[in-house]
């Protein structure tokens, strides 16, 4: 990897930031181009490739410039309607885009990469139906500048301003591949420091790459010929510079002159050919992620102290009534509480990112997979502007990849099967996101064959994952839920995409690891919808506080259906498991202390039993505790590596009074209850008139 000698680390940083934006734009627009061809879209793609070519050339990064130049040439033919958009053309553009990403990574990692540039360029040129261009600059001669009336008026204006008018001749003596870029740099250099009157080739011709290696211009300036020559030779690859006084009799007048730029802004903002990346007065600031995490921890400590201040203030006000000093302290405390609340709210917004930052990579992935499987699809993305905490975004990408690949490979039928079912040959998959209270909901919906419960059962029996007896007791919903088990797959033959029994179990584990849950709805012949509900943030959680065996626990409100009180007479035993009836549901009941492995009394023996009815998807369970406290927002703290994995506990927090509270891992607890229920023998409880299957339906 070789770069120009004068490139600084700041130049490289600016280039990488710009390159990432342009590469993402290319990725999005090239995929969109295959579905919808518009002049605006083609122009946008061309500008992005042109920008990459120009900025990489400024770095002296020849490999990237070569690929970007070939892409630009193909895109130019597309926008001029000289070449049609075909899958092969899109493939060539995407292959080149992949190479550009590899080359960008090389700048970051500072390690050499192997990219077959010749093959990439050949593929692009073949797609454009053209041969590699040659440029024989040896036989080229400089053309004279033709001045029209406007240009001659400019000459007179320069003379009236006591400026000297010069003829400037120069050549590109370096790599002819970058002749357009070097000449553009030369024009820009003189526009910044002289009165630029006219040139051959014109700026428009240079931008369109309709130029050779020679250059002739007429300029007005206060500088000496030596300064002009030095300025021109300061541009990379520019040589053979000649500066002579302007002789109007030697110039040929013509009705159409070598045009000058319409405005200064046009010359300085031509896509992709700035002489050096320029800094802009942006309204955004890039902040290191670790610094954000540290600030979040500090705000978490403030939130804890805020709660403590409130409690102290209430206690002092109750103890010392009508005390001016206490009243003043109370007002100050209230103000601090408000400031901390505002600070927490604003900082949470700083941590929020649009989910579209994840979604943006999926159209390309689905396009490639569609061609690989020969399953044409209409892939739609909705709700990309829905915001979510960056820590959640980092953990949701892999589950979404599995869900989307599953929808295309498993969900959608092949061409023949869709035709036989009277469906369009092109399948439909929609990825959408929206906010619902304190959660973000992500859906992956397809119009495929749906999930056949009987087929799932048969596949699991054949693999030995369940017995026929167990399968016979499963409802359709439970059978479909089997796809989330490890080793699950209904594929008859493994492929590079799926069929090895990994994927959906990873989806479930990863989503539940961030206090979310996933469920599926399916209709045979119509399609399936996978829905993941995720917390907006992992930094804080709204919880109901409960006590069990002298331990304070927090149950996230996202999983709480309601809280009830039971007497021992309302509890029944079915298949060795305590259950209770809540309206039309028969719900498994377990002591929270028992579920988490705490030692102490059995809360189910109490005269009055407090129960938190929790729900994950369509699974219900009752968690028995000693007492219920008020709901409270708590700051999530990791248990740390020294504590290790705690059964049924996802984290901890500290309350304002200094007490430690354990945050319950509700999905894991309910999953464990459901698993034990499924292993229960078939039985009938005469007291409540239900069977083990009824319990299974409510627990699973």
Residue 329 phi, psi dihedral angles, 5° rounding = -60, -40
Q: Report the pLDDT averaged over residues 438-452.
A: 91
Least trusted range by pLDDT, from 136-140, 238-242, 347-351, 375-379: 136-140
Report the predicted TM-score, pTM, of the whole model to 2 decimal places: 0.60
**DSSP label of 408:** I
423 C-beta neighbours (distance < 10 Å), count: 20
Residue 185 shares a structural domain with residue 310: no
The DSSP result for 571-603, as a single string, is EEEETTEEEEEETTEEEEEEEHHHHTT--S--G
Q: Of 490, 506, 535, which marks where a domain is finished?
A: 535
| Residues 330-346: b if buried by 16+ CB within 10 A, e if exposed | beebeebbeebeebbee
Closest CA to 399 of 276, 292, 483, 506: 506
Closest CA to 189 of 92, 80, 296, 274: 274
Residues 6+ apart with CB under 8 A from 388: 352, 353, 354, 355, 396, 440, 534, 536, 537
Residue with tokens 């302007």, as numbered in its chain? 246
Q: If 0-12 CB within 10 Å is exposed, 13-18 middle and 19+ buried, where does residue 184 land?
A: buried
Q: What's CA 467's distance to the chain center, in Å?
A: 42
Task: List the CATH number of the domain containing 238.
Answer: 3.30.70.1110
Q: If 0-12 CB within 10 Å is exposed, 13-18 middle and 19+ buried, where does residue 89 land?
A: buried
Residue 375 shares a structural domain with residue 397: yes
Which pLDDT band holds residue 681 (cuts at 50, 70, 90)? very low
Residue with tokens 């046009």, as numbered in its chain? 266
> Is the pLDDT higher at 248 or at 123?
123
Range of the domain at 307: 289-350
410 carries an active-site annotation? no
> Is the pLDDT higher at 605 or at 5?
605
Residue 185 shares a structural domain with residue 213: yes
| Residues 582-598: b if buried by 16+ CB within 10 A, e if exposed | beebbbbbbbbbbbbeb
Residue with tokens 């007065």, as numbered in its chain? 281
50 carries an active-site annotation? yes
Residues 6+ apart with CB under 8 A from 635: 300, 303, 304, 539, 540, 653, 654
Q: What is the pLDDT of residues 618-642, one digit of tens each?
A: 778 899 998 888 888 787 776 665 5
249: pLDDT strictly greater than 60: no
> Is the pLDDT higher at 60 or at 140?
60
| Residues 675-700: b if buried by 16+ CB within 10 A, e if exposed | eebbebeeeebeebebbbbbbbbbbb
> Is the pLDDT higher at 394 or at 377?
377
**DSSP label of 330:** H
Least trusted range by pLDDT, from 420-429, 526-535, 646-655: 646-655
484 C-beta neighbours (distance < 10 Å), count: 19
pLDDT at 114: 61
Q: Of 258, 275, 302, which marks where a domain is finished?
A: 258
Q: Evaluate whether 353 touches 388 at the Cβ level (below 8 Å).
A: yes
Which pLDDT band holds residue 282 (cuts at 50, 70, 90)? very low
> Is the pLDDT higher at 141 or at 34?
34
pLDDT at 429: 95
Structural domain total, the chain? 5
pLDDT at 19: 84
Residue 407 shares a structural domain with residue 512: yes
Least trusted range by pLDDT, from 122-126, 460-464, 486-490, 681-685: 681-685
Catalytic residue of the set 72, 274, 478, 512: 72
275 assigned to some structural domain:
no
Q: In degrees, to the nearest 5, what angle opens at C-alpha 574 toward C-alphas 572 and 576? A: 105
What kind and span of H or E run contains 208? Answer: none
406 carries an active-site annotation? yes
Helices (H), 425-575: 453-462, 468-473, 476-481, 504-512
3 assigned to some structural domain:
no
Catalytic residue of the set 29, 50, 66, 515: 50
pLDDT at 45: 84
Task: List the CATH number of the domain containing 45.
Answer: 1.20.120.160
308: pLDDT strictly greater than 60: yes
Task: List the CATH number of the domain containing 449.
Answer: 3.30.565.10
Q: What is the pLDDT of residues 13-46, one digit of tens each?
A: 778 888 888 888 888 888 888 888 887 888 888 8
157: pLDDT strictly greater than 70: yes
447: pLDDT strictly greater than 80: yes
> Is the pLDDT higher at 160 or at 178?
160
Q: What is the pLDDT of residues 571-627, one digit of tens each?
A: 888 877 888 988 878 888 888 888 887 877 778 878 888 999 988 777 788 999 988
Residue 693 shares a structural domain with residue 602: yes
Residue 301 shares a structural domain with residue 384: no
pLDDT at 30: 87
**DSSP label of 326:** H
Report the C-alpha gap between 651 and 555 in whole angstroms.
Answer: 11
| Residues 22-48: b if buried by 16+ CB within 10 A, e if exposed | bbebbbbbbbebbeeeeeebbebbbbb
Assigned token pair, 221? 């300036």
Closest CA to 274 of 282, 286, 266, 262: 266
331 assigned to some structural domain:
yes
Q: Evaluate whether 316 touches 299 at the Cβ level (below 8 Å).
A: no
349: pLDDT strictly greater than 90: no
Average pLDDT across the chain, whole number = 77
Q: Report the pLDDT averaged over residues 235-262.
A: 61
Residue 333 shares a structural domain with residue 430: no
Residue 558 shares a structural domain with residue 665: yes
442 assigned to some structural domain:
yes
Residue 387 shares a structural domain with residue 462: yes
Closest CA to 435 of 515, 350, 533: 533
Q: Evaluate whether 89 touches 33 at the Cβ level (below 8 Å).
A: no
Q: Evaluate whether 431 touches 444 at the Cβ level (below 8 Å).
A: yes
Q: What is the pLDDT of residues 175-196, one digit of tens each?
A: 666 778 788 888 888 877 788 8
Report the C-alpha gap between 133 and 235 in whole angstroms.
Answer: 24
Closest CA to 232 of 283, 169, 313: 169
Partnered with residue 172 across adjacent β-strands are 238
Q: Please compute, for residue 104, the number of CA atoms within 13 A of its CA located in the half-sphere on the CB side.
A: 22
pLDDT at 258: 36
Residue 119 shares a structural domain with residue 230: no
- The percent of residues in the chain predicted with pLDDT above 70, rounded, is 81
pLDDT at 259: 37
Report the C-alpha gap between 530 and 350 in whole angstroms.
Answer: 29
682 assigned to some structural domain:
yes
Residue 525 shares a structural domain with residue 557: no
Q: Of 492, 518, 535, which marks where a domain is finished?
A: 535
Q: What is the pLDDT of residues 325-337, one digit of tens each?
A: 888 888 888 888 8
Report the C-alpha gap between 120 and 140 in whole angstroms.
Answer: 30
Catalytic residue of the set 216, 274, 406, 610: 406
Report the C-alpha gap between 185 and 264 in whole angstroms.
Answer: 14
651: pLDDT strictly greater than 70: yes
Residue 381 phi, psi dihedral angles, 5° rounding = -120, 130
Strands 195-200 and 214-221: what pairing?
antiparallel
pLDDT at 530: 94
Q: Report the pLDDT averaged over residues 511-517.
A: 80
Residue with tokens 């010749």, as numbered in its chain? 118
The DSSP result for 625-684, as a single string, is ESEEEEEEEEE-B---TTT---TTEEEEEE-TTS-EEEEE-HHHHHHHHHHHHHTSPP-E
Residue 494 shares a structural domain with residue 385: yes
193 assigned to some structural domain:
yes
Partnered with residue 542 across adjacent β-strands are 633
274 assigned to some structural domain:
no
Reading across the β-sheet that carries 619-625, which strands appear in turn?
560-566, 609-616, 619-625, 585-591, 577-582, 571-574
Which pLDDT band holds residue 59 (cuts at 50, 70, 90)? confident
437 assigned to some structural domain:
yes
Q: If 0-12 CB within 10 Å is exposed, 13-18 middle and 19+ buried, where does residue 390 land?
A: middle
Q: Please compute, for residue 215, the number of CA atoms within 13 A of its CA located in the half-sphere on the CB side.
A: 33
């Amino acid at each position: 990897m070789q770069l120009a000698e004068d490139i600084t680390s700041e130049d490289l940083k600016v280039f990488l930031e710009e390159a990432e934006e342009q590469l993402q734009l290319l990725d999005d627009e090239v995929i969109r181009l295959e579905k919808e061809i518009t002049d605006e879209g083609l122009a946008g793609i061309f500008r992005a490739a042109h920008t990459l070519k120009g900025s990489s050339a400024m770095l002296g990064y020849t490999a990237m410039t070569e690929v970007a130049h070939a892409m630009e040439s193909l895109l130019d033919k597309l926008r001029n309607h000289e070449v049609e958009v075909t899958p092969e053309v899109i493939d060539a553009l995407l292959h080149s885009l992949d190479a550009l990403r590899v080359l960008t990574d090389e700048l970051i990692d500072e390690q050499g990469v192997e990219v077959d540039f010749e093959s990439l360029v050949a593929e692009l040129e073949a797609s454009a139906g053209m041969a590699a261009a040659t440029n024989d600059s040896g036989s080229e001669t400089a053309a004279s500048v033709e001045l029209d009336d406007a240009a001659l008026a400019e000459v007179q204006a320069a003379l009236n301003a006591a400026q000297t008018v010069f003829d400037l001749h120069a050549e590109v003596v370096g790599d002819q591949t970058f002749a357009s870029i070097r000449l553009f740099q030369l024009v820009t250099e003189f526009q910044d420091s002289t009165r630029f009157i006219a040139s051959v080739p014109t700026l428009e011709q240079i931008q369109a790459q309709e130029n050779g290696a020679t250059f002739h211009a007429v300029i007005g300036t206060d500088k000496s010929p030596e300064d002009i020559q030095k300025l021109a030779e300061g541009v990379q690859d520019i040589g053979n510079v000649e500066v002579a006084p302007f002789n109007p009799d030697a110039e040929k007048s013509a009705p159409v002159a070598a045009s000058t730029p319409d405005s200064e802004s046009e010359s300085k903002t031509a896509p992709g050919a700035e002489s050096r990346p320029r800094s802009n007065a942006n309204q955004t600031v890039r902040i290191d992620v670790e610094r954000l995490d540290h600030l979040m921890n500090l705000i978490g400590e403030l939130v804890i102290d805020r709660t403590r201040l409130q409690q102290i203030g209430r206690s002092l006000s109750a103890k010392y009534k009508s005390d001016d000093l206490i009243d003043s302290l109370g007002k100050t405390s209230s103000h601090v509480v408000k400031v901390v609340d505002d600070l927490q709210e604003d900082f949470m917004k700083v941590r929020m990112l649009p989910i579209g930052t994840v979604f943006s990579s999926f159209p390309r992935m689905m396009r490639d997979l569609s061609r690989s499987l020969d399953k044409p699809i209409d892939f739609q993305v909705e709700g990309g502007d829905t915001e979510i905490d960056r820590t959640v975004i980092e953990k949701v990408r892999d589950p979404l990849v599995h869900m989307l690949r599953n929808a295309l490979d498993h969900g959608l039928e092949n061409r023949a099967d869709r035709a036989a079912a009277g469906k369009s040959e092109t399948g439909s998959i929609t990825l959408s996101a929206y906010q619902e209270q304190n959660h973000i909901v992500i859906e992956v919906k397809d119009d495929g064959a749906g999930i056949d419960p009987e087929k799932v059962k048969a596949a699991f029996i054949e693999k030995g994952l369940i017995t026929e007896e167990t399968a016979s007791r499963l409802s359709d919903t439970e059978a479909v839920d089997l796809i989330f088990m490890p080793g699950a797959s209904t594929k008859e033959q493994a492929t590079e995409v799926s069929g090895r029994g990994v994927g959906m179990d990873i989806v479930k584990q990863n989503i539940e690891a961030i206090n979310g849950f996933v469920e599926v709805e399916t209709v045979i012949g119509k399609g399936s919808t996978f829905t993941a509900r995720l917390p907006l943030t992992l930094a804080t959680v709204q919880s109901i506080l409960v006590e069990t065996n002298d331990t304070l626990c927090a149950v996230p409100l996202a999983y709480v259906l309601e809280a009830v009180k039971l007497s021992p007479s309302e509890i029944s035993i079915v298949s060795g498991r305590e259950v209770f009836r809540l309206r039309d549901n028969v719900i498994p009941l377990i002591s929270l202390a028992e579920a988490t492995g705490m030692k102490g009394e059995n809360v189910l023996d109490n005269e009055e039993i407090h129960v938190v009815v929790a729900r994950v998807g369509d699974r219900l369970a009752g968690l028995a505790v000693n007492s219920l406290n008020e709901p409270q927002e708590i700051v999530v703290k990791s248990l740390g590596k020294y504590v290790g994995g705690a059964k049924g506990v996802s984290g901890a927090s500290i309350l304002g009074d200094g007490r430690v509270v354990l945050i319950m891992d509700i999905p894991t607890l309910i999953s464990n209850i459901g698993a034990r229920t499924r292993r229960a023998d078939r039985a009938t409880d005469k007291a409540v008139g239900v069977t083990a299957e009824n319990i299974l339906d409510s627990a699973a």
